Amino acid sequence: MKILGIIPARWASSRFMGKPLVKIGNKSMIERVYKQSLKALDYVVIATDDTRIVEDAKRFNGQVVMTSDQHQSGTDRCAEALKLFEKESGQKFDIVINIQGDEPFIQEDQIMDIVNCFNDVDTQIATLIKKITEPEIVFDPSCPKVILNTNSEAIYFSRSTIPYIQDTDEKDWFDKFTFYEHLGLYGYKSDILNKITKLPTSFLEIAESLEQNRWLENGFKIKVAETDHENISIDTQEDLDRILKQGFVD
């Protein structure tokens, strides 16, 4: 299996403009994500739409490709980046790992958990989940939840609390059932990546604002791996300030 890690990194984030280049200690955020990813993968490339990010990648000798600024999701950007990097490198990749560009402390074993899902030849798409450990998160619509089948495949993703616990007071739900949150790390077989990015938007995708529901609606299967690691995502300046204050920087 030849595996390519792709880090989508756009400049024009509505909540934190230019966040890939913010400094965390003595490194930019995108440099941290890139170097963490290289601990798990031999091939990693940054996929961006902005020359400032290209220049920063060159500064730390990172592989980078320039993609369209019209992509609606990181998955779409990954599909274009795969084609560009395969053409540029003269190599073909079997698996793509979509690594979030705003998680500078991603762990090697989180990436490997996704990679290992593809030891099962039937795996089309893989993603990470984590057991919810705080009751309030169960009811937080900003935290997507997921329910699974007995083969560790996703049945559905929702911002609502799923499953609904019948005949039980909501305050007792957390003690009665194990709830899982979805973490935004994906792996895809390369041919599957090309297929899912050609699908039209779907009802459940729009309703939940979760693109992975489009894939489920169209019959694709999403294998899940469970992690114990907390995701440290930087979406706003406040997130960055909190992380620096808490001393996460090595």
Taking the C-alpha atoms of residue 167 and residue 153, their distance in angstroms, rounded to an integer, is 27
Q: What are the distances in angstroms from CA 38 to CA 43, 62, 151?
A: 7, 10, 30
Closest CA to 19 of 87, 116, 92, 104: 104
* 117 found inside a domain: no
Structure confidence at residue 237 (pLDDT): 81
Closest CA to 40 of 93, 123, 92, 110: 110
Structure confidence at residue 121 (pLDDT): 96
Pairing of strands 145-148, 180-189: antiparallel
Structure confidence at residue 33 (pLDDT): 97
Pairing of strands 154-158, 145-148: antiparallel
Question: pTM for the full model?
Answer: 0.93
Asked whether residue 10 falls in the same domain as residue 76, the answer is yes
Token pair of 214 as six digits: 């489009």
pLDDT > 90? residue 27: yes
Taking the C-alpha atoms of residue 160 and residue 176, their distance in angstroms, rounded to an integer, is 17
Asked whether residue 91 falls in the same domain as residue 130, the answer is no
* 43 found inside a domain: yes
* 111 found inside a domain: no
* 242 found inside a domain: yes
In contact, 128 and 164? CB cutoff 8 Å: no
Beta bridge partners, 7, equal: 46
Q: Write the CATH number for 219.
A: 3.90.550.10
What rounded mean pLDDT belongs to the chain? 94
**In the chain, how many domains are there?**
2
* 90 found inside a domain: yes
Taking the C-alpha atoms of residue 178 and residue 162, their distance in angstroms, rounded to an integer, is 10
Asked whether residue 90 falls in the same domain as residue 164, the answer is no
Asked whether residue 92 falls in the same domain as residue 126, the answer is no
Token pair of 218 as six digits: 């169209």
Asked whether residue 225 falls in the same domain as residue 134, the answer is yes
Asked whether residue 100 falls in the same domain as residue 201, the answer is no
Asked whether residue 26 falls in the same domain as residue 74, the answer is yes
Asked whether residue 127 falls in the same domain as residue 200, the answer is yes
Asked whether residue 93 falls in the same domain as residue 139, the answer is no
* 112 found inside a domain: no
Average pLDDT over residues 66-85: 94
Asked whether residue 74 falls in the same domain as residue 173, the answer is no
Taking the C-alpha atoms of residue 81 and residue 64, their distance in angstroms, rounded to an integer, is 9
> Could you list the residue range(s) of the whole structural domain that residue 81 is in?
1-106+236-250
Asked whether residue 4 falls in the same domain as residue 90, the answer is yes
Structure confidence at residue 110 (pLDDT): 97
The CA dihedral of 190, 207, 156, 212, to the nearest 10 degrees, is 10
* 115 found inside a domain: no
Amino acid at position 175, single letter: D
Q: pLDDT tens digits, residue range 139-196?
A: 999 999 999 999 999 999 999 999 999 999 999 999 999 999 999 899 999 999 999 9
Asked whether residue 132 falls in the same domain as residue 187, the answer is yes
Q: pLDDT tens digits, residue range 218-248?
A: 999 999 999 999 888 887 888 888 877 776 6
Taking the C-alpha atoms of residue 38 and residue 3, their distance in angstroms, rounded to an integer, is 12
Average pLDDT over residues 71-89: 95
* 39 found inside a domain: yes
Phi/psi class of residue 209: alpha, beta or left (left: φ > 0; alpha: ψ in -120 to 50)? left
